[in-house]
């Protein structure tokens, strides 16, 4: 039961993008078309889950027993950077078209604060390994959801006359604000 709460909380109530402000850069950058938004979301979810598990293990099995908690940030970001590198090579081998579609945004997953934020939160909230698993899957899917909804809205906006100053990032922020307002309604879910 608790695992379900953690999952729903990470995906909807405390959505990483719309309520915790993590992963905004790809949110603004990749949310123009629904398919690329979805691909990005899944890629990020994939990296999130593995990164969360690996960093959890490193923190609880190496850093804490040896009183090396001060190395938390350096260790975590190096793990994430290496993981993204590996995922990049993996996707390139397995599906070249997907690799091309994601383009420059794949290496940029490294600086996606959502991943580092997720890893740090899992440690901060003192989750065990199973809770971390559900937490990261929920977070990734919630991120994907926000991205896809935003892409859907922006595709519609292509046909609309937006005031010149608001074109681009500004209108995206305003829409995000409305989405965030809507997602606040999830608070009563549990």
Partner 1 sequence: MSNTAKIIIVLTAITLISGAVLALLDSYTRPKIESYRKIQENNAIAEVLPENDRIKEIVQDGYVFYEAYRKNELVGVAFQISGGGYQSELVLMLGVSPDFSRITGLKILSQVETPGLGTKIEKDESNKQDPGWFINQFKGLRTLPSITYVKNAAPSRETEIQAITGATVSSKAVVDILNTHIKKAKAARNIE
Partner 2 sequence: MKQKTAIQEFLKGLWDENPVLVSLLGLCPTLAVTVSAINGLAMGLAATFVLLCSAFLVSLLRKVIPNQVRIASYIVIIATFVTIADRFLAAYTPDISKALGPFIPLIIVNCIILGRMEAFASKNGIGRSLLDALGMGAGFTLTLLVLSSIREILGSGTWFGMQLMWPSFAAWKVMVLPPGAFLTLGCMIAAANWINTRRRS
Question: Which residues of the chain form contacts with partner 1 (CB under 8 A)?
Answer: 2, 9, 13-14, 20, 70-71, 74, 124-126, 187-188, 190
Q: Site map for partner 2, 38-57, x if CB under 8 A?
A: --------------------
Q: Which among 184, 68, 58 has a CA at the least distance from the CA of 129?
A: 58
Provide CB contacts within 8 A for 114, sequence distance 6+. 16, 17, 22, 23, 44, 48, 139, 143
Separation between Cα atoms, residue 17 and residue 136, nearest integer Å: 14
Q: How far is the CB of 164 from partner 2 (least distance, A)?
A: 7
**Contact stretch for partner 2 (CB under 8 A) within 93-101, 136-144, 147-155, 161-169:** 161-169
If you compute the radius of gyration of the chain from its CA atoms, what whole number of angstroms results? 17
Q: How many residues bind partner 2 (CB under 8 A)?
A: 45
Q: Which of residues 167-186 bind partner 2 (CB under 8 A)?
A: 167-174, 176-178, 180-181, 184
Separation between Cα atoms, residue 132 and residue 166, nearest integer Å: 39
Q: How far is the CB of 125 from partner 1 (least distance, A)?
A: 5
């Amino acid at each position: 039961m608790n695992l379900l709460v953690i999952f729903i909380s990470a995906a909807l109530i405390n959505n990483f993008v719309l309520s915790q402000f993590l992963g905004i850069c790809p949110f603004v950058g990749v949310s123009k078309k629904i398919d690329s938004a979805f691909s990005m979301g899944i890629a990020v979810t994939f990296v999130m889950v593995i990164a969360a598990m690996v960093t959890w293990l490193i923190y609880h099995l190496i850093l804490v027993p040896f009183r090396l908690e001060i190395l938390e940030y350096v260790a975590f970001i190096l793990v994430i950077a290496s993981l993204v590198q590996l995922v990049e090579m993996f996707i390139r081998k397995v599906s070249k078209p997907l690799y091309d579609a994601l383009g420059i945004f794949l290496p940029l997953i490294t600086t996606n604060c959502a991943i580092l934020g997720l890893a740090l939160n899992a440690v901060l909230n003192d989750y065990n390994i199973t809770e971390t698993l559900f937490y990261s899957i929920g977070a990734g899917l919630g991120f994907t959801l926000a991205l896809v909804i935003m892409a859907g809205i922006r595709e519609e906006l292509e046909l609309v006359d937006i005031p010149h100053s608001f074109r681009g990032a500004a209108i995206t922020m305003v829409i995000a604000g409305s989405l965030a307002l809507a997602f606040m309604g999830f608070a009563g879910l549990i």
